[in-house]
Chain A
Amino acid sequence: MIKVILPPHLRTLAQVRGELELEVEKPVTTRSVLDALEDRYPMLRGTIRDHVTLQRRPFLRFFACEEDLSHESPDAPLPDAVASGAEPLVILGAIAGG
């Protein structure tokens, strides 16, 4: 199981609490995790990546294992610790705005 941490507003939108656990087929990549996330929580479509281009929304970041993976290819394998479920993929909103 892959662990995912959503920003608070998206947890509210998806009506979930805390860390999520998702079944994700290998290879585990940002794209495959987001596909699985959006399949299970369709209300999140468009809120993390653009509906049409599938580009990450500019004020969101993907962190894992103390690394910023936001600029990696969405098809690059995520770290083994994420793929094994030891560490979460953190989807983070920028600290900005009012």
Chain B
Amino acid sequence: MSKVRVLAGTRKGAFILTSDGKREKWDVSGPHFAGWEIFHVKGSPVDPNRVYASQCSGWFGQVIQRSNDGGQTWEPVGNKFAYDGVPGTHQWYDGTPHPWEFKRVWHLEPSLTDLETVYAGIEDAAMFRSTDGGQNWQELSGLRGHGSGPRWQPGAGGMCLHTIILDPSDPQRIFIAISAAGAFRTDDGGKTWQPINQGLRSEHIPDPTAEVGHCVHHITMHPSRPRVLFMQKHWDVMRSNDAGDSWTEVSGNLPTDFGFVIDVHAHEPETIYVVPIKSDGEHYPPDGKLRVYRSRTGGNEWEALTKGLPQQDCYVNVLRDAMAIDSLDKCGVYFGTTGGQVYASADAGDSWNPIVRDLPAVLSVEVQTLA
């Protein structure tokens, strides 16, 4: 019988939530790495027992943990993220040049095909790769070396590379996103990169349609259609049909098009999910109602999903890496909140139940579908 394993990173540790295919009863394991911020936990598609965790702390810096048994036991691996060459500068919040400084790993993306290869998206924004299971890390410096690097600027959460999407149809193609530089793509395995922000419009930068400077919050892709991307930008939900070469807005009838997460149904590539957040100044759901919005038309037409979610006095946020979707039928949808709830839907979003209610603030949620 199928099983699912939800990997939740929180402000004070990692939690592993497991259930059978019904997804009604859950076992909760954790906290792992108690007291540390766990920005991301993700398993390998090659071997689901291989799991990586980004563990960090304002006191002790960055640690990368690796498990070979599905998160039961862990070992620290390499945590040296040294920029390639002289790092140079990007823009600081006030527009002055600021040296590139490693702060933390936001996102770990294991290779789709090679167990020992894993990518890391870091703050200050750069892309790293390990080909030995996380022991040693090398920067893919063509990204930061793209001519626009000195013009990149941090978002409120820091200048983080938070999204990494590997193209299952083309091992040379990778999409990434940086707050607040925008989206980029490589077609040569990470040697060279191009910004893919045409069609984005951001009123908070001097040139709203600039090549870089857009605060992209998250991007998602359905593996069966790797040229179709969906983006939750700071404001605006966007769609690209040409691998990011151009974008069009699909916010449609959303109550607000600000938000962080966006994800796509496991079996319906035109079905997508977002969690609208009131505004960049008020990071909570509009009207105190926690609502996931689902579009079955690839955007523009959205329906509110509320069954089982609090519809009054709810003022949590859902952060950019805190939604995930399993591949069972019907697919399960999961998201975590800054209030410490992890909600699960076993029916593609029609109804919801909290798996746990009182974790530390949830930073990330991933799910593994296990045979």
The chain A residues found within 8 Å of chain B, CB to CB, are: 7, 9-10, 12-13, 43, 45-48, 50-52, 57, 59-60, 93-94, 96-97
In the bound complex, what is the Cα–Cα distance between A59 and B81 (angstroms)? 20
Rounded to whole Å, the gap between the CB of A2 and the closest CB of chain B is: 21
Chain B hits for A51, CB < 8 A: 79-82
Please tell me if B269 contacts chain A, counting CB pairs below 8 Å.
no
Rounded to whole Å, the gap between the CB of B11 and the closest CB of chain A is: 8
In the bound complex, what is the Cα–Cα distance between A60 and B34 (angstroms)? 19
Chain B hits for A43, CB < 8 A: 63, 76
Q: Tell me if A9 and B59 are in contact (CB < 8 A).
A: yes
Rounded to whole Å, the gap between the CB of B80 and the closest CB of chain A is: 5
Rounded to whole Å, the gap between the CB of B120 and the closest CB of chain A is: 14
By size class, the interface of chain B is 10 to 19
Q: Tell me if A7 and B80 are in contact (CB < 8 A).
A: no
Given A9-B35, A13-B76, A52-B82, the answer on whether A47 and B61 have CB atoms closer than 8 Å is yes
In the bound complex, what is the Cα–Cα distance between A13 and B35 (angstroms)? 12
Can you list 29 A-B contacts with CB-CB less than 8 angstroms, sorted by A residue number? A7-B59, A7-B60, A9-B57, A9-B59, A9-B60, A10-B60, A12-B34, A13-B60, A13-B63, A43-B76, A45-B79, A46-B61, A46-B62, A46-B63, A46-B80, A47-B63, A48-B60, A51-B81, A52-B80, A57-B59, A57-B60, A59-B58, A60-B59, A60-B60, A93-B59, A93-B60, A94-B59, A96-B58, A97-B58
Q: Which B residue's beta carbon lies closest to that of A60?
A: B59
The chain B residues found within 8 Å of chain A, CB to CB, are: 34-36, 57-63, 76, 79-82
- Interface SS of chain B: helix, strand, loop or mixed? loop
Q: Which B residue's beta carbon lies closest to that of A97?
A: B58
Q: Which B residue's beta carbon lies closest to that of A50?
A: B61
- Interface SS of chain A: helix, strand, loop or mixed? loop
Rounded to whole Å, the gap between the CB of B206 and the closest CB of chain A is: 33
Q: Which B residue's beta carbon lies closest to that of A10?
A: B60
- B61's partner among A7, A57, A96 (CB-CB below 8 A) is A57
Q: Which A residue's beta carbon lies closest to that of B62?
A: A46
Chain A hits for B59, CB < 8 A: 7, 9, 57, 59-60, 93-94, 97
Chain A hits for B62, CB < 8 A: 46
Chain B hits for A50, CB < 8 A: 61
Apart from A7-B59, A9-B36, A46-B61, list 20 A-B contacts with CB within 8 A: A9-B35, A9-B57, A13-B60, A43-B76, A45-B79, A45-B80, A46-B63, A46-B79, A46-B80, A47-B61, A47-B63, A47-B79, A50-B61, A51-B82, A52-B82, A60-B60, A94-B59, A96-B58, A97-B58, A97-B59
